[in-house]
Chains A and B, each alone.
Chain A
Amino acid sequence: MKKYLITSIITLTLFSTISISCSDEFVSPKPKYSIDSENYFNSKEDYNDALVAAYDLLQSTYANALLGEIASDNTLAGGESPTDVIGWQQVDDMIHTPVNSNLRDIWNWMFAGVQRANYILEFKDKTDFEGKTQLLAETRFLRAYYQFELVKWFGGIPMKGDARFKVGDEKTVPRSSVAEVYASIEADLIFATANLSPIASQKGRVTKGAAEALLGKAYLYQNKYAQAAASLNNVITSGKYSLVSDYDAIFEMAGENGSESVFEVQYTDVEGAGFTCLQCSEGNVAVGFSGVRNYSGPLFSSGFSFNVPTAEAANSFEAGDKRKNTAILDIAAWAEANKSYDNGKGVTFGKGNEDTGYFNRKYLPRKRSDNAQGDLNLTNPNNYRAIRYADVLLMAAEAYNRGGIDDAKAREYLNQVRRRAFGDNNHDISVSGAALTDFIWAERRSELFGEGQRFFDLVRTGKAVGKIPGFTANKNELFPLPIEEIQFANGNWKQNPGY
């Protein structure tokens, strides 16, 4: 009897313990203090916060600007040694292959931007609120901006509409054609031009003018001159933008977000950064990388001596062009001129790999504030002037000229830029037709030197062969898809020709 009693007590104890505390419910707690991405977008704030995330990736385009310059005939890779950031060194020499972590960064970061924009667009119908159209227009501008970068660098890319990519999509979603990508970019930007406010609610937000300029640029890249001219002319006639009379002032801190700024990527140095996540930096990483090695002296601070202009590039400026001294720092001359600095200590600096004595002065690190957080090389606050009004004028000039629409207008826009550069009207261009085209292209190099445009200008105009050392036609117009992506896709995506 006693035995049964005990047995039943045990059974009861076991049973109750198991049934009370041990059901599988125990192992399904809701994660505390965390927000599930699939149950989001319940208020205007939610959308706004997600939009900040889409903007965030603009800061990672420092890599595009820097490498766009290195890839061109403007600058050499430089750095500490020939093996320092080997991916950049190879692009500089046009011997890059699909094995290149720096090209992969650009792929990954630009797609991250697309993905963050698509996160909002995937849920665009979930919650309604005032100002939603403006928010969606900003979102679509950003998606177009990232996709434009991708199509410039890699050609056709996979697209999934207003939906995020999931792991596995790389095996099923095909690469769209270049035309399809541009169609998507155009659609996004047409929506953006129609719905964006002409005036930014905050410095750094995209505007109608930015969308029109980017749309014009996208048309120009497809040689759609009439549409390009129309869209760019809208920017010019909007009256919102003007050339800054002192070219040099544009690139100093005080010149940020000035009257010439159509679209500008915003940076700051109040938050620290490290090498393990360069895309996380709130600073312009390209600037520290372009700095003069071990520099000590006035105005600038030191950096890693990448992206050094060649002598050919430095000599490409016409005599009397005031832009040269803004674009190119001749370090020896600078040291000579500042001999007396700091009680005669003067300027000291080191020499890196492929030293030419020249530096990309527009985006050199300036002296830093006491608030600047380290690693100082990675947190330079210099904004990237992504689309300047001068660029819009030159693009418009090119569209009017090459489209055979209006050479007079083209000359006028070109000469506006030249008059500022030379400080007089004596350098105005008066030719027409193909000769004018050549002047416009030459002007682009001088005006936009060091701003990451050169390689793509040469490629889209078919002038890269012979100009860029090592450039192979029908291959180097595009960069290779990262080897990893080809492997992930498992046959779904073909490598770009020649790689």
Chain B
Amino acid sequence: MKSKLLLTVLLLFTSFAFSQSFDVSGTVLDGTGLSLPGVNVKVKTSSQSTTTDFDGSFKLLGVPKGTTIVFSYIGFRTQEVVVSAPKITVKLSDDTRSLEEVVVIGYGSQKKREVTGAVSVVDSKTLDILKPIKVEQALQGTVSGVNVTTQSGAPGAKLDIRIRGIATNGENGPQAIIDGYVGDLSLLNPNDIETITVLKDAQAAIYGTIAANGIILITTKMGKKNSKTKVSFNSYTGFQEASRKLPMLNATEYALLLNESYANGGKALPYPNASGLGSGTDWQKQVLGKSVPLLNSDITISGGSDKITYSISGSHLDQEGIVGSDKSGFLRNTARLALGADLSDKFKVKTNVIYTYFDRKTINENGLGSVLFNALNVPATLAPYAANGDFTLVPNTTGLGNEIINPLAQIANTYNDYNYKKLNGNFGLDYKIFKGFTLSSSIGFNTSNSEGKTFGKKISYGGKVFDVQRSSVTETATNDNDYSFDLYATYVTKIGENHNITATLGNTIYKQWGNSANATGFDVPNNSWDFADLSLTKGVPSALNTGGYVYDQRRLSYFGRAQYDYKGKYLLSAMIRRDASTKFGPDNKVGYFPSFTGGWVISDEGFFGESKTFNFLKLRASYGTLGNDQIPNNGFLSLLNGEATYVFDGNLVSGVATGQIPNPKLKWEQAKKFDVGLDLRLLSDKVSIVADYFIDTRKDLLIPDIPVSGITGVGAPGASAPTLNAGTVRNSGVEFAIDYKEKFGDNFSLSVGYNVTFIKNEVLEVNNGTGIIELGNFGVGQPAASRMQAGQPIGYFYGYKTDGIFQNQAEVDAHPSQLALGANASPGDIRFVDVNGDGVIDSKDKTNIGDPIPDATMGFNIQMSYKSLDFALYSFASIGNDMVRNYERVLSDANRLDYVLDRWTGPGTSNSVPRVTTGATANNVLSEYFVEDASYLRIQNIQLGYTLDPKVTQKAGITKLRLYTGVNNLYTFTKYKGFDPGASFGPTNKDGVSQSPIGAGIDYGFYPVPRTYLLGLNINF
């Protein structure tokens, strides 16, 4: 083999000798005229090549005249230059969408033109503009098929990524792979990221069992070879405010409404004299902060010699919350070191280690009795403070219930702290054994320690549920670890001129383990946060006050992939992965996940010709099986971890009982993914179009906590229902993305992107006997609000259809009785529809009244630059998602939104908002009245930047100095009445991590995502 190679090279050199040749030297510059080091410079017809040095200059010896030289560099459009003179200057235009760009696809990479799966890439430039605080935000609206929703606007809150819809009951989030190892993208410093690659279809099958929800591959920044030390410093400061305030009743409106309500209920007026009340307290104004600070700085130092590259970075983020300011704050520091070294021609090593620290404080949010819930329900007639400066107590009356308390007092009495330290990284080794054959090995790890502390202050709100009789402090310490060890071989070869083959074979070992301990101490000295520590508490506990857990979960995987193409025109690949996981019982430990992808570059066909309009057209398709094992541990075993506590002799006695009902037959959840797509480039790459049609069918759905017959003892304390493979869900849809990029002269460039995704979600079967799974809370003491059922979207809202308002008694009498809903109707009450036509309105008339899943999501982005100015705008829209209004505490004296001013007060006054009364009505059962269309369009980010003339700044040693200002979450267009139409996540599953899609879209007074005004600068030197 080697001898053949030598011969070829020798032959080539001999041929050069006969033609006219000379030495070529030159400089390579980027779009702004700066020299580009590390550019690959290659003679097209031979293997002769070099790279540019620190100054962007290069030299090739003995190049024949007329030879084509190819200049390529990641992030820039590859350029070919025909040599005509010994000195050339080449200006590379940056183009991340280049077809020659290399895309990582898991255990390998591929040129973009040859990719046969549905793969999208977001690069560091997009991240630079979006300035996401958390990485997930960068995927919202920038990638088709990906929907990102936030669980809260609180600093540091979790964001959910959904790739091509919601397909399972447990964890729906994609798995992130950071530089090859299993990691957590949410904790990364966004500025450390080079590219984010989203594998949306069967292309991800190389990751087998962890790939069903899609795979997100993160490549972190490395230094570049032969480049001078480059220092990049970025900093911005921001001011946050609530993007929305709900229109509530003021004190006078409130008093008058209550009078009417009491009168209708036949009771005495609570405010016989409502004059002089004025507008009262605006509780939202009291609770929501203004100009809440946000500060972020990061620095990256990178460079490299011809053998070694390095990149060192650090970042600091400090954000306070718009509710509760520092009581809901988030602070994150990261440090990173990336090193790459060519030990020899054959050995390459790479390491990348990240340290992350964060500290987070939270307030009670998104639930009955949360801070915002209270801010919305406390009457405007109450003042926040009493005359002596104490917080006003919300009266303990029936009309105000026993959850509504003064939200300011609630914030003041909230004390908690959570900090987290993590070290993660990898060490990788590439060994080129012979031509085309590379052995790669890598070990990646995550190890973290976290500590949490919550202080329960002894407090009285005057007989409310938040009263605490005895002070306590609870501390939790958790240790989580994992490693992924990969060993795989890649062989690249060519058979004849046209048959290209790449084969990959390897295995991955993954293990995660950890433990946690918690304890509660009582009687905190001085009833103060300053003394809230276990070391100081001496109170004797009356019940078990410690807890903990350990876990050890493992996965063993083998995989193989073969890629073949003929002239780069017909592309085929086949993958198979075998996974064994501890999540499943002995009989079902092992799963096999095969997949196939194929592509046809039609534009390379002779019949296609040299079209002026179409310069690239590729048709691709993929099909495969992927798996999901994201379920609670030990689901196949019956363990004695239930609750067994009783009282003997007046003292608590603890015994043992079984916990989760076991399912020994537990097996993989299978995702069958089909995708057919089209990649199109028009008008010399100015326009690029990607379109996909997909069907993702989840079979053997792992449904955690699935209802089973009560005879099994599932209702016992500490017992829980098993996880069963008991359903099928299908997501099918269309994705379309179009990008347009144009340069008008030297000064003006424009790029516009639009993407849209239509998804239809349908549950095909639920095999637990009832065919129905119910979850989700609405109101107080009401039945579950959401359902999963065949023929319906997962988590649809199950309630009553409405047909306006009864205008008079005759209408009431003509309508079936509504007594079964709680009370007989009167004029002014909601008229419910007799869906099943049996002449009575009862629970059998409940039906689908909406669902929280959007029919379509889309992103629209513009970037422009004119001379030194640059401008960007990112927007996102979600269409067809519904939301249940559940932040109104249905109590006679709670404050209300101002839409009640349009209520029914007599025949003909309203056909949409029912009367108010303290009397009995059925108006508050879950019906269409509470379901709102939460479609929205959000201007996510708008930014204007100015770069100082590099020629000027360079004199000060600064290669780039850019100042910018921007607004994140500028405005949301929506009809939804609540704080945030993007709030859509369900109740937490038993695993304590994932959220169930059943019960999503129920709004308890969501902590809104803030609007942030930014001012920042980038300096490179």
Q: Is the CB of B783 within 8 A of A86?
A: yes
Q: Is the CB of B555 within 8 A of A37?
A: no
- In this assembly, does A197 line the interface, its C-beta being within 8 Å of a C-beta of chain B? no
Q: What B residues does A169 contact at CB under 8 A?
A: 709, 711-712
Q: What A residues does B724 contact at CB under 8 A?
A: 167
If A82-B823, A83-B922, A279-B715 touch, whether A107 touches B710 (CB-CB below 8 Å) is yes
Q: Is the CB of A374 within 8 A of B467?
A: yes
Please tell me which stretch of A112-120, A405-413, A439-447 contacts chain B, meaning at least 4 of its Cβ atoms lie within 8 angstroms of it: A112-120
If A34-B634, A83-B925 touch, whether A53 touches B655 (CB-CB below 8 Å) is yes
- In this assembly, does B13 line the interface, its C-beta being within 8 Å of a C-beta of chain A? no
Q: Is the CB of B397 within 8 A of A484?
A: no
Chain B window 798-842, contacts with chain A (Cβ cutoff 8 Å), 1 for yes, 0 for no: 000000000000000000000111110000000000000000001
Chain A window 268-304, contacts with chain B (Cβ cutoff 8 Å), 1 for yes, 0 for no: 1011100001011010000000000110100001100
Please tell me which stretch of A176-184, A334-342, A347-355, A455-463 contacts chain B, meaning at least 4 of its Cβ atoms lie within 8 angstroms of it: A347-355
- In this assembly, does B569 line the interface, its C-beta being within 8 Å of a C-beta of chain A? no
Q: Is the CB of B552 within 8 A of A374?
A: no
Q: Is the CB of B657 within 8 A of A50?
A: yes
Please tell me which stretch of A199-207, A242-250, A395-403 contacts chain B, meaning at least 4 of its Cβ atoms lie within 8 angstroms of it: A199-207
In the bound complex, CA of A146 to CA of B197 (Å): 58
- Cβ-neighbour of B640 out of A40, A271, A294 (below 8 A): A40
Q: Is the CB of A271 within 8 A of B652?
A: yes
Q: Is the CB of B656 within 8 A of A35?
A: yes
Interface of chain B: mostly helix, strand, loop or mixed: loop
- In this assembly, does A129 line the interface, its C-beta being within 8 Å of a C-beta of chain B? no
Q: Is the CB of B590 within 8 A of A81?
A: no
Q: Is the CB of B781 within 8 A of A50?
A: no
In the bound complex, CA of A115 to CA of B920 (Å): 41
Q: What B residues does A484 contact at CB under 8 A?
A: 707, 709, 769-770
Question: How far, in Å, is A211 (CB) from chain B's closest CB?
Answer: 18
- Cβ-neighbour of A89 out of B633, B715, B717, B822 (below 8 A): B822
Please tell me which stretch of B27-35, B376-384, B641-649 contacts chain A, meaning at least 4 of its Cβ atoms lie within 8 angstroms of it: B641-649
- In this assembly, does B6 line the interface, its C-beta being within 8 Å of a C-beta of chain A? no
Q: What A residues does B487 contact at CB under 8 A?
A: 13-14, 17
Which A residues between 127 and 184 are near B, CB-CB below 8 angstroms? 158, 164-167, 169-171, 173
Q: Which has the most chain A C-beta neighbours within 10 Å: B555, B641, B655, B707? A: B655
In the bound complex, CA of A376 to CA of B470 (Å): 12
Q: What A residues does B711 contact at CB under 8 A?
A: 111, 114-115, 158, 165, 169-170, 173, 485
In the bound complex, CA of A469 to CA of B354 (Å): 71
If A28-B586, A49-B644 touch, whether A350 touches B556 (CB-CB below 8 Å) is no
Q: Is the CB of B638 within 8 A of A36?
A: yes
Q: Is the CB of A170 within 8 A of B769?
A: yes
Q: What B residues does A17 contact at CB under 8 A?
A: 487, 507
Which B residues between 640 and 671 are near A, CB-CB below 8 angstroms? 640-658, 661, 663
Q: Is the CB of B717 within 8 A of A268?
A: no
Name B589's closest neighbour in chain A (CB-CB): A27
- In this assembly, does B543 line the interface, its C-beta being within 8 Å of a C-beta of chain A? yes
Which B residues between 512 and 553 are near A, CB-CB below 8 angstroms? 542-544, 550-552
Q: What B residues does A27 contact at CB under 8 A?
A: 554-556, 580-582, 589
Question: How far, in Å, is B144 (CB) from chain A's closest CB?
Answer: 37
Q: Is the CB of A267 within 8 A of B509?
A: no
In the bound complex, CA of A46 to CA of B656 (Å): 8
How many A-B contacts are there with CB distance less than 8 Å? 307
If A111-B710, A111-B713, A165-B712 touch, whether A51 touches B655 (CB-CB below 8 Å) is yes
- Cβ-neighbour of A21 out of B397, B509, B771, B920 (below 8 A): B509
If A33-B550, A371-B470 touch, whether A38 touches B652 (CB-CB below 8 Å) is no
- In this assembly, does B714 line the interface, its C-beta being within 8 Å of a C-beta of chain A? yes
Question: How far, in Å, is B401 (CB) from chain A's closest CB?
Answer: 7
Q: Is the CB of A115 within 8 A of B713?
A: yes
Q: Is the CB of A282 within 8 A of B647?
A: yes
Q: What A residues does B1 contact at CB under 8 A?
A: 3
- In this assembly, does A99 line the interface, its C-beta being within 8 Å of a C-beta of chain B? yes
Per the CB 8 Å criterion, the residue count for chain B at the interface is 100
- In this assembly, does A223 line the interface, its C-beta being within 8 Å of a C-beta of chain B? no
Name A256's closest neighbour in chain B (CB-CB): B650
In the bound complex, CA of A95 to CA of B823 (Å): 12
Which B residues between 704 and 741 are near A, CB-CB below 8 angstroms? 707-719, 722, 724
Q: What B residues does A311 contact at CB under 8 A?
A: none
Q: Is the CB of A81 within 8 A of B924?
A: yes
- Cβ-neighbour of B644 out of A35, A53, A111 (below 8 A): A53
- In this assembly, does B468 line the interface, its C-beta being within 8 Å of a C-beta of chain A? yes
In the bound complex, CA of A483 to CA of B707 (Å): 12
If A104-B710, A271-B543 touch, whether A375 touches B465 (CB-CB below 8 Å) is yes
Q: Is the CB of A167 within 8 A of B708?
A: yes
Q: What B residues does A317 contact at CB under 8 A?
A: none
In the bound complex, CA of A282 to CA of B507 (Å): 51
Q: Is the CB of A108 within 8 A of B710?
A: yes
Name B719's closest neighbour in chain A (CB-CB): A112
- In this assembly, does B96 line the interface, its C-beta being within 8 Å of a C-beta of chain A? no
Question: How far, in Å, is A444 (CB) from chain B's closest CB?
Answer: 28
In the bound complex, CA of A294 to CA of B397 (Å): 5
- In this assembly, does B297 line the interface, its C-beta being within 8 Å of a C-beta of chain A? no
Chain A window 12-44, contacts with chain B (Cβ cutoff 8 Å), 1 for yes, 0 for no: 011001100110101111011111111010000
If A81-B890, A373-B470 touch, whether A204 touches B649 (CB-CB below 8 Å) is yes
Which B residues between 563 and 597 are near A, CB-CB below 8 angstroms? 580-582, 586, 589-590
Q: Is the CB of B709 within 8 A of A488?
A: yes
Q: What B residues does A368 contact at CB under 8 A?
A: 469
In the bound complex, CA of A108 to CA of B721 (Å): 12
Q: Is the CB of B655 within 8 A of A52?
A: yes
Q: What B residues does A89 contact at CB under 8 A?
A: 822
Known: A167-B709, A205-B648. 11 other contacts (CB 8 A): A28-B589, A50-B656, A56-B646, A86-B822, A116-B657, A119-B658, A203-B649, A271-B645, A280-B718, A305-B398, A369-B469
Q: List 24 A-B contacts (CB under 8 A).
A: A6-B433, A13-B487, A21-B509, A29-B582, A31-B637, A31-B639, A38-B638, A50-B657, A79-B781, A86-B782, A97-B842, A107-B715, A112-B716, A114-B711, A115-B711, A115-B716, A165-B712, A167-B712, A173-B711, A204-B649, A268-B650, A270-B652, A373-B542, A488-B709
For the complex of A and B, 4 pairs with smallest distance between CB atoms:
A52-B655, A350-B398, A108-B715, A115-B713
